[in-house]
Structure 1
Amino acid sequence: MSLLNLPTELVHAVANLLRNDPTSIQAFSQLTCRIFIKLVPLLYSNVDITLLHHIAETDPFPTVLSEHPGAHIRCLDIRMYNSDDKLIVHSYLLLALKTIEKYRPGGKLELFRYETFSVSLGSLLKLWDGGLRIVKLEIACPVSSTGGRKGTSAFHLLSTSSLYSLHLDFHNTSHHSDYATLAKLLSCLPRISKSLHSLDIILGDFPRMLVLDPLNRLLRDNDFTFPHLQSFGIEMRTTVNLCPFPE
Structure 2
Amino acid sequence: MVLLTAYHNRPELTDERFGAHAGHGRYYRTGDLGRWRADGTVELFGRADRQVNLRGNRIELGEVEAILLGHPLVRVAAVVVVGDRSAGAHLVAFVETTEERDVADDLWTYARAELPRAALPQDFVVLDALPVSANEKTDYVALEALAAGGRVAVRTPGTAAQEVADDAVRGLVELWRELLDRDDVGPETNFFAHGGHSLLGAQLLQRLEQSTGVTLKLADLFAAPTPAALAEGIRMAALPRVAAS
Q: TM-score, normalised by structure 1?
A: 0.27
- The structure in which a higher percent of residues are helix is 1
